[in-house]
């Protein structure tokens, strides 16, 4: 009984099972794209979009209730602002050490993960911003959709 | 001073996101932080007056590969307009926006718009100019629809579509320039074009840029969005859009790109002159029939931008450098003056709406008895925009008319004077219906607006008078800026 009610929202059992496997892998791939943005094609924006897509897949297959429990909209909104703020902060930290957006950490050894100074940090900041922002936009659109739908129901009565 | 230039972009952009985080915990913080931020920006802009030409290399990368921020006299004028008007609009918004929900979001969007405009003005390369232009535009699309009534959303949507078309034209133009010159840095492109000669594809870029930036500055064939978008926004935003945004994104970009980067020729001069004259005449004639105060002001914005464009056109056409400098200086001075009096008028219209609940002139009247400060500010700004001495609008219009006469463009000079008369007519109508006349019985209980709004209005009225009386002192600065604009951009490396 409890098993049945658990599967009431969202899509069929098959899509739920597959998407719960895939979500983690997609998110992991997104992190890879963002963290290796300075070495391979991609970067913070692309990585952030992929991670947001993982959460959107979870929303589509398991319903909004499940995905919002994992990633509440207030956290998404806060992370969105935090990502943008940390990007500007990165620029300002460079500003304190000479010029706006100047590299202020060690450059490291070429072609390794820690090899690009502040570019990696900038990519992470953008990843957070894009991930949270895109997910918040998706949730926001579906919230407005519900309000409109309920309003129409009310009119019909 | 050189080191502080990036703060014009970094401070408002950082604050925009910071206040959104803090406002989740305490609502009042966004008021305080925004006000402190814009005060700091206005202070920086005022300090920049004496700084001279500056070039800042972002990240310490060398010219022409790195991103560059460029400051000269034209930039200083625009930065002053943007940040002083933003300061006054924020001061006004502290009380005015109490009636709206989501005040922190309003401040965040306003700060993003300021960051975008400061970025456009400072950018030394085309691509950053485009990116900041998009930041400012996107913030303004959201702000136009901030009231989320159906009319406001429709205006916002119309503005979004037309603005999007303009942005894509500009981006296409930038792509073609890059394909032809291999550089995005404006000084580098100017150097390349002057050594390698004209290319026919650059003429296509002229058309794309004139359309794109012409739409952003609401020149007449591209003006359809403005009379809907500007009145729909909350009053401080109407003031920012009309007073600043169309200049920073439109007029400034045209002046910087065509004068500084491509170098003007006779063809461009005629196009600018015709666009300007057309905007002047059509804008003012459309304004005559309006009874909605803010809508009338929006049409006047089109007309007044026509004056600025005409000034630039004379500057491009005139043979002698003195006449050209006079024309451009007139245009630039009119841009400054328009920022003062149109901001003042939009804020007054907002104050009238705040107190009486209507913007329809036919329902108003006799407000000078109930709202003395607002009425006086309205009258001062009306006289300024109509070009009555000693207010500031008179001097800039006079400079443009004299330049037109000296360039032997008598018909255009006559049209300019005629448009000034029609403007006066239109604002006599505004004053008769709102400020003077009989006080309507239902308006007996109307009160003056809160103090912070009154302060903003009084400061703007004083600026209108002060710029008029102090004209001899700033004339030299304007002529310097104008003759600097006629030369191709060269950055100090």
**Do the chains contact at B56 and A100, CB–CB below 8 Å?**
yes
**Do the chains contact at B14 and A99, CB–CB below 8 Å?**
no
Contacts of B112 in chain A (CB under 8 A): none
Tokens representing B268? Answer: 């461009």
CB proximity B40 to A under 8 Å: no
Which of A88, A89, A101 is nearest residue B58 as measured by Cβ atoms?
A101
Tally Cβ neighbours within 10 Å of residue B372.
12
Contacts of A102 in chain B (CB under 8 A): 59-60
Q: Which residue of B has its CA nearest to A79?
A: B21
Contacts of A101 in chain B (CB under 8 A): 58-59
**Do the chains contact at B10 and A92, CB–CB below 8 Å?**
yes
For tokens 């806060």, the residue is A78
- With contact defined as beta carbons under 8 Å apart, do B485 and B260 qualify? yes
* Chain centre to alpha carbon of residue B327: 18
**Do the chains contact at A99 and B59, CB–CB below 8 Å?**
yes
**Do the chains contact at A91 and B6, CB–CB below 8 Å?**
yes
Cα–Cα distance measured from residue B58 to residue B243, given in angstroms and rounded to the nearest whole number:
29
**Do the chains contact at A88 and B6, CB–CB below 8 Å?**
no
Torsion angle defined by CA atoms of residues B346, B15, B58 and B119, in that order, rounded to the nearest 10 degrees: -10
Which of B6, B17, B20 is nearest residue A100 as measured by Cβ atoms?
B6
Where do the domains of chain A lie? 9-152
Cα–Cα distance measured from residue B352 to residue B367, given in angstroms and rounded to the nearest whole number:
9
How much is the ipTM here?
Answer: 0.85
Q: Which residue of A has its CA nearest to B56?
A: A99
Tally Cβ neighbours within 10 Å of residue A90.
18
**Do the chains contact at B59 and A74, CB–CB below 8 Å?**
no
Which chain B residues in 8-27 lie under 8 Å from chain A, judged by CB atoms? 10, 13-14, 16-18, 20-21, 24
Which of B21, B58, B59 is nearest residue A81 as measured by Cβ atoms?
B21
Cα–Cα distance measured from residue B221 to residue B214, given in angstroms and rounded to the nearest whole number:
9
Q: Which residue of A has its CA nearest to B68?
A: A100
Structure confidence at residue B65 (pLDDT)? 82
Contacts of A103 in chain B (CB under 8 A): 59
User: Which of A73, A82, A84, A103 to mutate to test binding with chain B, by most B CBs within 10 Å of its CB?
Assistant: A84
Structure confidence at residue A8 (pLDDT)? 66
Contacts of A95 in chain B (CB under 8 A): 3, 6-7, 10
Largest pairwise CA distance in chain A: 69
Tens place of pLDDT per residue across chain B (493 aa): 778 899 999 999 999 999 999 998 888 899 999 999 999 999 999 999 888 888 888 888 887 788 889 998 999 999 999 999 999 999 999 999 988 888 999 999 999 999 999 999 999 889 999 999 999 999 999 999 998 889 999 999 999 999 999 999 999 999 999 999 989 999 889 888 888 877 788 899 999 999 999 999 999 889 999 999 999 999 999 999 999 999 999 999 999 999 988 888 889 999 999 999 999 999 999 999 899 999 999 999 999 999 999 999 999 998 888 899 999 999 999 999 999 999 999 999 999 999 988 888 888 888 888 899 999 999 999 999 999 988 999 999 999 999 999 999 999 999 999 999 999 999 999 999 888 888 888 888 888 889 999 999 999 999 999 999 998 888 888 998 888 887 777 765 5
* Chain centre to alpha carbon of residue B353: 23
Which chain B residues in 425-484 lie under 8 Å from chain A, judged by CB atoms? none
Q: Which residue of B has its CA nearest to A83?
A: B17
Which of A74, A77, A100 is nearest residue B59 as measured by Cβ atoms?
A100
- With contact defined as beta carbons under 8 Å apart, do B53 and B5 qualify? no
Tally Cβ neighbours within 10 Å of residue B183.
18
User: Which of B4, B12, B16, B21 to mutate to test binding with chain A, by most A CBs within 10 Å of its CB?
Assistant: B21
Nearest Cα residue to B133 out of B8, B11, B254, B245:
B245
Radius of gyration of chain B (CA): 21
Taking the CA of residue B68 and the nearest CA in chain A, the distance in Å comes to 11
**Do the chains contact at A92 and B14, CB–CB below 8 Å?**
yes
Instruction: Give the pLDDT means over successive 10-residue stretches in chain A (157 positions).
Output: 56 90 94 92 94 93 86 90 94 88 85 87 95 92 68 50
Contacts of B60 in chain A (CB under 8 A): 98-99, 102
Using an 8 Å CB-CB cutoff, list residues of chain A that contact chain B.
Answer: 74, 77-78, 81-82, 84-85, 88-89, 91-92, 94-95, 98-103
3-state secondary structure of B387: coil
- With contact defined as beta carbons under 8 Å apart, do B113 and B176 qualify? no
Cα–Cα distance measured from residue B251 to residue B254, given in angstroms and rounded to the nearest whole number:
5
Which of B13, B21, B24 is nearest residue A88 as measured by Cβ atoms?
B13
């Amino acid at each position: 009984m409890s098993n049945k009610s658990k599967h009431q929202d969202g899509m069929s059992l098959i899509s739920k099972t597959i998407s719960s496997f895939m979500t983690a892998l997609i998110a992991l791939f997104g992190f890879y794209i963002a963290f290796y943005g300075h070495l391979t094609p991609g970067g913070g924006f692309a990585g952030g979009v992929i991670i947001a897509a993982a959460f959107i897949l979870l929303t589509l297959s398991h319903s909004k209730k499940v995905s919002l429990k994992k990633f509440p909209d207030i956290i998404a909104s806060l992370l969105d602002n935090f990502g943008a703020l940390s990007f500007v902060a990165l620029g300002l930290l460079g500003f304190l050490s000479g010029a706006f957006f100047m590299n202020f950490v060690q450059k490291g050894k070429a072609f390794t993960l820690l090899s690009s100074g502040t570019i990696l940090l900038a990519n992470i900041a953008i990843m957070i911003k894009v991930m949270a922002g895109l997910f918040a936009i998706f949730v926001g659109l579906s919230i407005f959709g519900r309000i409109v739908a309920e309003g129409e129901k009310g009119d019909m009565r | 001073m050189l080191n502080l230039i990036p703060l014009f972009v970094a401070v408002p952009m950082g604050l925009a996101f910071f206040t959104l985080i803090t406002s989740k915990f305490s609502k009042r913080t966004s008021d305080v932080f925004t006000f402190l931020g814009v005060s700091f920006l206005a202070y920086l802009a005022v300090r920049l007056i004496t700084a001279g030409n500056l070039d800042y290399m972002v990240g310490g990368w060398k010219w022409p590969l790195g991103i560059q921020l460029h400051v000269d006299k034209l930039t200083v004028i625009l930065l002053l307009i943007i940040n002083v008007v933003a300061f006054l609009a924020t001061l006004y918004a502290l009380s005015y926006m109490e009636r709206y929900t989501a005040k922190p979001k309003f401040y965040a969007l306003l700060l993003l718009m300021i960051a975008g405009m400061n970025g456009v003005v400072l950018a030394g390369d085309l691509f950053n100019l485009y990116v900041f232009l998009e930041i400012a535009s996107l913030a303004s699309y959201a702000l136009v629809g901030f009231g989320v009534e159906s009319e406001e959303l429709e205006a916002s949507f119309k503005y979004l579509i037309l603005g999007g078309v303009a942005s894509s034209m500009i981006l296409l133009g930038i792509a073609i320039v890059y394909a032809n010159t291999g550089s995005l840095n404006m000084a580098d492109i100017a150097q390349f074009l002057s050594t390698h000669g004209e290319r026919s594809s650059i003429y296509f870029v002229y058309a794309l840029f004139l359309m794109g930036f012409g739409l952003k500055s609401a020149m007449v064939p591209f003006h359809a969005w403005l009379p809907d978008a500007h009145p729909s926004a909350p009053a401080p935003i109407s003031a920012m859009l009309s007073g600043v945004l169309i200049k920073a994104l439109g007029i400034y970009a045209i002046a910087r790109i065509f004068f500084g980067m491509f170098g003007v020729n006779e063809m461009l001069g005629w196009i600018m002159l015709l666009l300007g004259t057309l905007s002047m005449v059509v804008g003012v004639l459309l304004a005559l029939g309006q009874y909605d105060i803010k809508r009338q002001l929006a049409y006047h914005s089109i007309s007044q931008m026509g004056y600025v464009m005409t000034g630039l056109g004379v500057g491009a056409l005139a043979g002698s450098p003195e006449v050209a400098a006079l024309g451009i200086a007139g245009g630039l001075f009119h841009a400054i003056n328009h920022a003062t009096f149109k901001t003042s008028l939009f804020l007054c219209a907002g104050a009238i709406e705040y107190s009486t609940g209507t913007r329809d002139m036919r329902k108003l009247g006799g407000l000078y008895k109930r709202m003395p400060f607002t009425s006086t500010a309205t009258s001062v700004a009306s006289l300024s925009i109509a070009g009555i001495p000693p207010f500031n609008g008179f001097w800039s219009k006079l400079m443009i008319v004299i330049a037109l006469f000296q360039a032997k463009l008598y018909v255009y000079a006559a049209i300019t004077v005629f448009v000034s008369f029609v403007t006066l007519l239109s604002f006599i109508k505004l004053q008769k219906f709102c400020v003077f006349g009989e006080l309507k019985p239902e308006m007996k209980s109307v009160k003056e607006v809160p103090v912070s709004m009154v302060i903003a209005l009084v400061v703007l009225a004083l600026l209108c008078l002060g710029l008029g009386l102090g004209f001899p002192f700033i004339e030299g600065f304007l002529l310097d800026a104008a003759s600097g604009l006629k030369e191709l951009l060269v950055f100090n490396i």
